[in-house]
A and B are shown apart, each in its own frame.
Chain A
Amino acid sequence: MSYLWFILALVVVLGLLWRFLGAYMVAVYDGTTHWLGFVERPVYKLLRVDAEAEQSWQRYGMSLIVYSGVAILVVYLMLRLQGSLPLDPQHLGAVSPALSFNTAVSFVTNTNWQNYAGETTMSYLSQMGALAVQNFASASVGIGVAVALIRGFSRKGSATIGNFWVDLVRGILYILLPISLLATIVFMAQGGVQTFAGPVHVHDVLNGVRQTIPRGPVASQEAIKQLGTNGGGFFNANGAHPYENPTGLTNFLSIVLLLAIPVALTHTFGKMVGNVRQGVAVLAVMALIFGAWLGIASYAEHVGNPAVAAAGVTHQGAGNMEGKEVRFGVQQSTIYNVASTQTSTGSVDSANDSYTPMGGFAMLSGMMFGDVTPGGVGSGLYTILLFAIITVFIGGLMVGRTPEYLGKKIQAREVKLAAFAVLVMPMTVLVMTGIAVSIHAGRVAPLNAGPHGFSEILYAFTSQGNNNGSAFAGLSSNTAFYNVSGAITMLLGRFAIIVPVLALAGSLAAKQHVAASAGTFRTDTPLYAGLLVGVVLIVGALTFFPAVALGPIAEQLSTGRLF
């Protein structure tokens, strides 16, 4: 019963955010709100950016790539020099080269895949100044790209798609920073840790236990890690750690934060293209697929854990508690992890690796469909718009007409770019997984035996290819092979999609609008939304079914067997 209230409350809060945050983001990216102008203007002055000057897609893309490259270098150097930099109360020393490279790429690509345990690897300065900074920046870059694509649809005969630097700065100043400032206070009030005082040593006279408890500036990082759909935890246990996610309320707030921008962006999209129903159609597709995975995972977790049942605990009450926290319970842990994997956040409040086969399948599959339900900040929207273009193309083939989407003719160039961008992720993930299972360095890493071991490898590359960052954490992936192959996967999953998306934005912006006629296939109807669901599901299923059959499906069907 409390679960129903939980979902109802979530829908109401997200509905309000959809309407108001969505409209606010229109004002932010149209440049009509200036309440933070006193911070914004000096920033442009220092950057020597003319806020009125716009960029072509090529220049937007180049600025984005150059900034991301510099950001990777900065994070890499900060981690390598960690031992010589201040704010390292645990004297953790430098991070190894391969791990620094993987981590730098991971945070700049909004993935937050973590081949390390934060409490024993990263100094406070690295957490705040290297990693959390990129939580803001990479999120703002992603939203900017989505908005640039929307501008491609909404403008006509335009040579420009916006200004990368303005989008980057405004996304951070007007959206990410104010919300994070407020959310951090809630986390702290509930028990989130926020201190520079270093670890604390405690001694319990009742049981003689002595503990060294690591602390740090945790709450401030928690807020942006969720809001920016980044997901990288301060501690190894991520959102399961009581200092990161202390109560049922912070658990709810985390879910709201990570869904807020991806959901609200559909309203922003509808508003900017002049028809809110277009945004509703996209949101409906996201919600439908999200609901299906949530249903599967919730049911599977409720039924319970087969290994625990095999040990004689036949009545598992609320369900599978292995890897879950008592204060959240089974269902509210499940919805957190489903929301986090389907938004490309990747934070967890319970161990994905110990979910039931179908529970883990829901997490994995949510990513395999391209992380579009609703996906990461910006990346979810621009990826589903790629699917939307492919959908009108298929619709056009059926009736033998040149397809249109949002008043723009979709021609060979657009379809090629969209198809390429949609295929990058599955190609990368499947090839990398294939390499990993073919070589010794890849095969020694899984903790679990049997099909679950294969799932751990497949999950790792699927997660990194979608810039998600969640893990079947049993995989020992802090090795040269996994650090480097993972970094390549993350780079391709981010930039090999962003570049064609920007090219698409440029190509669409240059086109004139065509007036809708009787023959135009309307894209704000349930019929279209249904077709879009079909395309997303078919593309995902066709590419990944064989791989999934070897992992979670084989595991689910192995009734009565343990590995």
Chain B
Amino acid sequence: MLLRQLFRSVVASVLFFVLLGLAYPAIETGIGQAFFSHQANGSLGPNGSTLIGQTFTGPRWFQGRPEPSGNNPLASGGSNLGPRSKVLAADVRHEVAVLQKEGITPRNALVTSSGSGLDPDITPADAYAEAPAVARANHLPLAAVRHLVARHVTGRELGFLGSPYVNVLQLNEALAHLKGSTGA
């Protein structure tokens, strides 16, 4: 009796390994590579992945959120600092000071770190808050920079899913283009 259950357990383990552990992900990989190859390979562009945050140091660039690992994709995860942590308060105070020195009035999301440690986005409000400093540092008209931000705001999917955001890498690529075309 016990032996029969042992036999079945071993056969089931092998079967499930082949069906669920190899065939299922392999079929999905085939579908992904055939129909969604850009996404399935990591949404890669010439300057990296638009889904993986990178460190841009301001104010010549739009900057993303401060991440504890410095946006290292091999060390994803948040700060894990608690809501009454002295360390968190000190970190945030430091970020506020850095941004204020650059002439940016930081909002909440721009001085806190994300859950992934790789947040590729900032809020539209934060992008607009950075715009004057970016315009000044690059000798660009503020209106042109604000226009750039406006063009890069992604709204909620279907009008209610998620929160509006601006992708930092795409915004900076557009900024580089703008700098190039105005000779700044």
Interface residues of A (CB under 8 A from B): 2, 5-6, 9, 43, 46-49, 59, 62-63, 66-67, 69-71, 74, 117, 119-120, 128-130, 132-133, 136-137, 165, 168-169, 172, 177, 180-181, 184-185, 188-197, 200, 202-207, 209, 211-215, 217, 219-221, 235-237, 240-243, 246-249, 251-252, 304-308, 310-313, 315-318, 320-329, 332-333, 348-351, 353-357, 359-360, 447-450, 452, 455, 472-474, 555, 558, 561-563
Contacts and interface: CB of A to CB of B under 8 A. Distances in A.
B58 to A, nearest CB: 11
Interface string B17-48: 10011101101110111011001111110111
Which of B42, B49, B106 has the most C-beta atoms of chain A within 10 angstroms of its own C-beta?
Answer: B42
A189 B39 contact: yes
Contacts of A67: 5, 8-9, 12
B122 interface: yes
A474 B24 contact: no
A329 B80 contact: no
Contacts of B5: 62-63, 66-67
Interface size class of B (residues with CB under 8 A): 35 or more
Contact of A66 (B9, B17, B27, B36): B9
A128 B20 CA distance: 8
B9 A209 contact: no
Interface stretch (B130-138, B142-150, B152-160): B152-160
Interface in B112-170: 112-123, 125, 156-163, 165, 169
Closest 8 CB pairs of A and B: A248-B162, A329-B163, A240-B115, A351-B78, A129-B21, A452-B82, A248-B161, A311-B92
Nearest to B158: A249
Given A206-B61, A212-B74, A307 B157 contact: no
Contacts, number: 388
A206 B82 contact: no
A237 B77 contact: yes
A63 B31 contact: no
Contact of A354 (B8, B20, B79, B93): B79
Contacts of B176: 206
A320 B108 CA distance: 8
A326 B28 contact: no
Nearest to B61: A207
Contacts of A332: 161-163
A220 B28 contact: yes
24 contacts: A9-B160, A66-B6, A70-B13, A74-B13, A128-B25, A137-B12, A137-B20, A177-B20, A189-B35, A190-B39, A194-B32, A205-B46, A213-B42, A248-B157, A308-B88, A311-B91, A317-B109, A321-B109, A322-B88, A326-B109, A329-B162, A332-B161, A353-B81, A563-B85
A209 B88 CA distance: 26
Nearest to A3: B160
Contact of A129 (B22, B47, B172): B22
A327 B161 CA distance: 9
A249 B160 CA distance: 9
Which of A137, A188, A558 has the most C-beta atoms of chain B within 10 angstroms of its own C-beta?
Answer: A188
Contact of B157 (A180, A194, A247): A247
A251 B43 CA distance: 18
A165 B54 contact: no
Contact of A213 (B9, B16, B20, B49): B49
Nearest to A42: B15
A354 B81 contact: yes
Nearest to B109: A321
B43 A326 contact: no
Which of B56, B161, B165 has the most C-beta atoms of chain A within 10 angstroms of its own C-beta?
Answer: B161
Given A66-B6, A206-B56, 6 more contacts: A9-B160, A205-B47, A217-B25, A306-B83, A318-B163, A474-B81
Given A191-B43, A311-B90, A354-B83, A237 B160 contact: no
Given A313-B106, A322-B112, A452-B84, A215 B89 contact: no
A322 B81 contact: yes
B156 A353 contact: no
B81 A62 contact: no
A311 B89 contact: yes
Contacts of B25: 128, 132, 194, 217, 220-221
Given A181-B28, A249-B157, A357-B84, A313 B42 contact: no
Contact of A209 (B55, B90, B119): B55
A43 B11 CA distance: 9
B80 to A, nearest CB: 4
Nearest to B27: A181
A448 B85 contact: yes
Contacts of A215: 41-42
A516 B169 CA distance: 67
Nearest to A561: B84
A505 B141 CA distance: 74
